[in-house]
Amino acid sequence: MSKTKILMITAVFSLLVSGYVFASIDVYPFKNQQLEQRFNHLTEVLRCPKCQNNNLADSNAELAQALKDIIFEKIQAGESDAQIIAYLKQRYGDFISYQPPFNYKTLVIWVGPFLLLILGAMGIFKYASNRQTVNAKSYVETETDTEQREKLAQWAQDFEQDSNSSEDKS
């Protein structure tokens, strides 16, 4: 490939990339960066009611776009995050938020995992302690045990003697 060809390809690609970046930044003209950060945060934690596994930031649905317009207007008008979320919840319900509220309907999802963890820990604890006591209780020294113990001691003695004698030879 000639140098000019490579240069041309790079130029075309850089044009494509720069166009894309420009488009994604210039949609909402915020007064300052702090407001823009709030907007980015809100559109990330809020869910699009139309395309249900997208947040507002990721969604291209017409409704998501309209809701983003409203959030932009409200941020520019000086409304707080809580006010904006309340406005949307009033219309689309708790569904709009990825953070479910803590009430009797959502008790299971908030408390359930911890309850399962405690239950599981209790189960394991009970099982383990049970097993230990069973082992301790059922352990009675038998004749075979004594015999094997003596055998083992004998082997150890033999081994020691063997190694000692081999050392002597060398």
Near another protein by CB under 8 A, which window of 11-19, 33-41, 86-94, 147-155?
Answer: 86-94
Closer to another protein at the Cβ: 4 or 90?
90
Q: What is the DSSP string of 18-74?
A: HHHHHHHHTTS--SSHHHHHHHHHHHHHBB-SSSTTSBTTT---HHHHHHHHHHHHH
The amino acid at residue 72 is: F
Query: Is 85 a binder of another protein (CB under 8 A)?
Result: no
With tokens 């059922």, the residue in question is 138
CB-based contact 71:39 (threshold 8 Å): yes
- 28, 38, 79, 89: which one binds another protein (CB under 8 A): 89
Query: Which residue in 13, 15, 21, 50 binds another protein (CB under 8 A)?
Result: 50
The residue (of 93 and 113) whose beta carbon lies closer to another protein is 93
Query: Interaction with another protein in 4-43: which residues (CB under 8 A)?
Result: none
**Binding residue (CB under 8 A) for another protein from 35, 45, 70, 85:** 70
Residues 6+ apart with CB under 8 A from 95: 47, 49
Which residues does 71 contact at the CB level (< 8 Å), separation at least 6?
A: 39, 42, 43, 46, 56, 84
Per CB under 8 A, 108 contacts another protein: no
- Per CB under 8 A, does 92 bind another protein? yes
Residues forming the site for another protein (CB under 8 A) = 49-50, 52, 62-63, 66-67, 70, 89-93, 95
